[in-house]
């Protein structure tokens, strides 16, 4: 497993042309940007967790049937400090740099007392976010880094707190058809009280596209609403949220961040990853927020305890809000990615991983328009006929919700984004079969509960991204793109292009160079600034 996940990646700073076999559709014009950890040791020091590695950004540019690849490390402040010191000097999710040679213990302690949530890092390894006409690497902290999407050069670090009071923010925003971006974060020190915050970054209206004019879109950031913590010292961890035409969906799960433990983490010698606690006996709260007014629906909607990282999609139907999630029975997935676990041989790692909670794709249905006064207690009031999800009225006026299971064993979900917030049928993702010989990507049909797979021996495909065909009518009319990493030194890594309808390969673009496993990204069509 170490050869795949834990070895240091290398840069390909100048674009190289891939060797294409098959036929890439000529209409496929644009750039797929990808982000993920790629540097796991610096000098004589190494990271403890896979999510700690320094960000390595990849681009695959599709132009007239050809594919061009390049990659560069994100030049974050964290990266520059570590490289200058030739050792890890900035703490990450699972690695505490202690003591920090850049500061003496007294200045470090003073900084921690001033900041309830300390600034561990600006290493953004998770995703690429578009705000206006600008692109940023992101993770779950208050910093993002602006990049040039063509050269992959780092333009500079941006602090959310210059625009809105946030300590943490998600790496999975939503976009609407007008080009606006919606995101969500956690405000622990807000004057109005600790809360979860949803905000909007409007589409750019200026024609200025000079790197010197930084963060123009963020200057117009608008706060939509605040949702108070259900427990003031224990905010819920969240990685994504849902959005329909009229609502936001926030899942406040019983995986909590212990604020006091985090504030004293430096003195305890522990990382913020160890400040997350899961209450298996707790409840999961579902907050439904009106997009136009920012008002939270007053009814309490809740379900049993689970952990969620990724939303698949959400939509409205006949007075119901329907939202699909990837759920886990506990938070053990994070432990799976500690480097010591991943360095085990494939057979041991596969055997060990079976003890961890597997992902389950589940659908929740909330009857937001139901008249609760007219419904009896202890009866399911979901009236949609094509789901087994329930919502049962309780004595206190709340609704207890149970899900319908759509699929087992899939993560990193994606859809045809034209259907985001709308009723849809298909989603795509990586199948979590922890073996270097059997990793797969899949297309799931939520209507028939069937799926199609792609797999090839000696390869690990990354998160699949859907790109629609021009003038597409059918939801699955388009292609699936996935960066596929070879675990066999005799075989090259490649960009995979599948027909989204049949899930059959129509082309691959082999890379004569180093390509590293990544996490998330986005596709920028040619009509944007990448022309």
The pLDDT tens digits of the residues spanning 258-305 come to 988 887 877 777 888 889 999 999 999 999 999 999 999 999 999 999
Query: Higher model confidence: residue 153 or residue 373?
Result: 153
Residue 530, pLDDT score: 41
- Summarize the confidence of residues 305-321 as an average pLDDT: 98
Q: How confident is the model at residue 364 (pLDDT cuts 50, 70, 90)?
A: very high
Residue 270, pLDDT score: 82
Output DSSP code: residue 107.
H
- Summarize the confidence of residues 363-390 as an average pLDDT: 93
Sign of CA dihedral 200, 206, 211, 216: negative
Residue 103, pLDDT score: 52
- Summarize the confidence of residues 389-396 as an average pLDDT: 96
Say whether pLDDT at 433 is over 70.
no
C-alpha to C-alpha distance for 291 and 34, rounded to whole angstroms: 29
- Summarize the confidence of residues 73-94 as an average pLDDT: 95
- Summarize the confidence of residues 157-186 as an average pLDDT: 96
Quick one: which H or E segment has residue 339? helix 339-342
CB 465 within 8 A of CB 523: yes
Say whether pLDDT at 437 is over 60.
no
Residue 220, pLDDT score: 94
Output DSSP code: residue 279.
-
Residue 272, pLDDT score: 82
Say whether pLDDT at 119 is over 60.
no
355: region left, alpha or beta (phi > 0 left; psi from -120 to 50 alpha): alpha
Say whether pLDDT at 206 is over 70.
no
CA distances from 443 to 235, 363, 422, 448, 500 (A): 34, 17, 18, 12, 8
- Summarize the confidence of residues 393-420 as an average pLDDT: 96
- Summarize the confidence of residues 458-471 as an average pLDDT: 95
Q: How confident is the model at residue 330 (pLDDT cuts 50, 70, 90)?
A: very high
Say whether pLDDT at 515 is over 90.
yes
CA distances from 450 to 354, 384, 407, 427, 443 (A): 23, 21, 9, 11, 9
- Summarize the confidence of residues 232-237 as an average pLDDT: 92
Place of tokens 């495909």: 461
Residue 288, pLDDT score: 98
Output DSSP code: residue 202.
P
Place of tokens 């559709």: 25
Burial of 302 (0-12, 13-18, 19+ CB in 10 A): middle
- Summarize the confidence of residues 501-521 as an average pLDDT: 96
Residue 208, pLDDT score: 40
Say whether pLDDT at 369 is over 70.
yes
Could you tell me the pTM of the whole model? 0.92
Percentage above 90 pLDDT, the chain:
75
| Average per-residue pLDDT for the chain | 90
Say whether pLDDT at 411 is over 60.
yes
Across 200-214, 334-348, 435-449, 488-502, least confident range = 200-214
- Summarize the confidence of residues 471-485 as an average pLDDT: 97
Across 144-148, 186-190, 488-492, least confident range = 186-190
Residue 399, pLDDT score: 97
Residue 229, pLDDT score: 95
Output DSSP code: residue 373.
G
Say whether pLDDT at 247 is over 90.
yes
Residue 435, pLDDT score: 45
């Amino acid at each position: 497993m170490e050869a795949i996940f834990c070895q240091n990646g290398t840069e390909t700073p100048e674009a190289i042309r891939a060797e294409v076999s098959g036929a890439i559709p000529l209409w496929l014009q644009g750039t797929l940007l990808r982000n993920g950890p790629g540097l796991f040791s610096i000098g004589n020091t190494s990271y403890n967790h896979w999510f700690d590695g320094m960000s390595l950004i990849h681009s695959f540019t599709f132009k007239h049937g050809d594919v061009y690849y390049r990659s560069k490390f994100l030049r974050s402040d964290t990266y520059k400090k570590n490289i200058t010191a030739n050792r890890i000097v900035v703490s990450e999710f699972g690695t505490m740099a202690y003591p920090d040679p850049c500061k003496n213990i007294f200045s470090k302690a003073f900084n921690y007392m001033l900041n309830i949530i300390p600034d561990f890092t600006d290493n953004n390894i998770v995703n690429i976010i578009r705000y206006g006409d600008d692109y940023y690497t992101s993770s779950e902290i208050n910093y993002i880094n602006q990049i040039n999407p063509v050269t992959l050069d780092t333009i500079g670090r941006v602090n959310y707190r210059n625009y809105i009071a946030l300590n943490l923010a998600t790496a999975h925003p939503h976009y609407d058809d007008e080009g606006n971006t919606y995101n969500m974060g956690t405000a622990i020190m807000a004057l109005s009280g600790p809360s979860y915050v949803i905000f909007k970054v409007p589409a750019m209206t200026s024609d200025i596209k000079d790197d010197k004019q930084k963060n123009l879109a963020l200057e117009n950031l608008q706060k939509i609403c605040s949702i108070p913590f259900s427990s003031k010292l224990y905010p819920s961890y969240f990685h994504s949220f849902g959005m329909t035409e009229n609502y936001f969906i926030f899942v406040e799960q019983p995986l909590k961040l212990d604020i006091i433990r985090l504030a004293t983490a430096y003195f305890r010698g522990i990382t913020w990853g160890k400040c997350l606690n899961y209450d298996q006996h707790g409840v999961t709260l579902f907050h439904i927020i009106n997009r136009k007014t920012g008002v939270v629906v007053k009814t309490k909607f809740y379900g049993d305890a689970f952990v969620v990282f990724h939303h698949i999609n959400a939509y409205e139907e006949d007075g119901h809000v329907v939202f699909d999630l990837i759920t886990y029975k506990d938070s053990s997935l994070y432990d799976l990615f500690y480097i010591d676990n991943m360095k085990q041989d494939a057979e041991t790692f596969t055997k060990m991983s079976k003890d961890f909670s597997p992902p389950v794709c589940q659908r929740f249905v909330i009857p937001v328009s139901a008249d609760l006064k007219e419904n009896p207690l202890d009866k399911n009031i979901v009236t949609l006929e094509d789901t087994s999800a329930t919502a049962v009225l309780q004595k206190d006026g709340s609704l207890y919700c149970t899900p319908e299971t759509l699929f087992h064993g899939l993560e990193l979900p994606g859809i045809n984004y034209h259907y985001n917030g709308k009723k849809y049928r298909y989603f795509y993702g990586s199948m979590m079969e922890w073996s270097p010989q059997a990793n797969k990507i899949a297309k799931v049909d939520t209507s028939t509960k069937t799926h199609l797979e792609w797999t090839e021996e000696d390869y690990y495909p990354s998160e699949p991204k859907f790109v629609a065909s021009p003038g597409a009518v059918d939801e699955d009319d388009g292609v699936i793109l996935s960066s596929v990493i070879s675990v066999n030194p005799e075989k090259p890594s490649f960009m995979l292009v599948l027909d989204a309808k049949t899930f059959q390969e129509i082309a691959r673009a082999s890379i004569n160079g180093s390509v590293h496993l990544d996490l998330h990204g986005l596709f920028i069509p040619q009509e944007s600034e990448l022309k």
